[in-house]
Chains A and B, each alone.
Chain A
């Protein structure tokens, strides 16, 4: 299947807006276990993640641990972000992993779970990721770049129990967040 054609309507359930947890909540620092993409509770969680992302201004991705659930899935939608080149629209991936990341570049990242800080993080700007689509469980491979690549690496890090703070470039690469989106 083409992930770009996917939409949350394919899940067949109504998403609910969940509360986003903040560091130092321990759920954010633990690796999330793999999930069964066909499990109805995972399908519901996928819809909930998208619904929560949609109502959060500026949010381009949300991992399950950010709503307090230790489960290896996340949603992404960078389609309206100015730094985006390639975009696959809205999608949710289960058990996703980075296959290849190259051409690392530094960029400033924030996170809904760390609302008061931002940081400079080097990420690959050419990225290949594979994962499973919730519901049908189809295997997909996504090749992307630029901001979508950064968002995917940020979310996959969440699933491994890492925040952008664990990747910042150095002692002077963490900044107080100036504006709240």
Chain B
């Protein structure tokens, strides 16, 4: 396979000490430079996504990381991705919280309402603890969006689901 410049790598599965060290050593061995990455535990499962750059190929990355997946408890994938342009006109940043009793469809209904308002979700985490379901998203709304109308629509969607939804402006202090 032809070398590509940008490769997206995901590693997910059983957690243990040393996964990041092993995975990034494999990438460094191919001369790949880590750019953006994120890692967390999802209900105890290790989950990492990253974008790396260099003269390699997804197949070479998967070969280099094969020892990680050898025991069948971690899934590793590598895919070529294009460079993404930065968005031309950034929206206004908001934080969105949803909390309530767990039931199917909360995230899809709320994010649908965000999308219908032209809002773009730039970060999202959800947690289930006992009966409480919590989702917190960071949302960019278009500059011309009516934030009060969007917040009211989100509360309506929340009321239909029996969950609370709040949308609030994200303050940024430039120092």
Contacts and interface: CB of A to CB of B under 8 A. Distances in A.
Interface residues of A, number: 24
B162 interface: yes
Given A162-B166, A167-B168, A168-B95, A24 B136 contact: no
Contact of B132 (A24, A122, A166, A172): A24
B101 A24 contact: yes
A172 B129 contact: no
Interface string B131-175: 111101110000000000000000000000011101010110000
Contacts of B170: 169-170
A29 B127 CA distance: 18
Contacts of B124: 171
B97 A165 contact: yes
A173 B171 CA distance: 14
Interface in A22-36: 22-24, 26, 29
A163 B133 CA distance: 13
Contacts of A104: 171
Contacts of B129: 116-117, 176
Contacts of A170: 95, 123, 136, 138, 170
Interface residues of B, number: 26
A161 interface: yes
B95 A169 contact: yes
Nearest to B167: A166
A98 interface: no
A170 B140 CA distance: 12
Contacts of A3: none
A26 B164 CA distance: 9
A167 B134 CA distance: 12
17 contacts: A23-B99, A24-B133, A24-B163, A29-B99, A29-B100, A116-B129, A117-B132, A165-B134, A166-B168, A168-B136, A170-B95, A170-B123, A170-B136, A171-B95, A171-B137, A174-B127, A176-B127
6 smallest A-B Cβ distances: which pairs? A116-B129, A171-B123, A24-B101, A166-B166, A29-B164, A24-B100
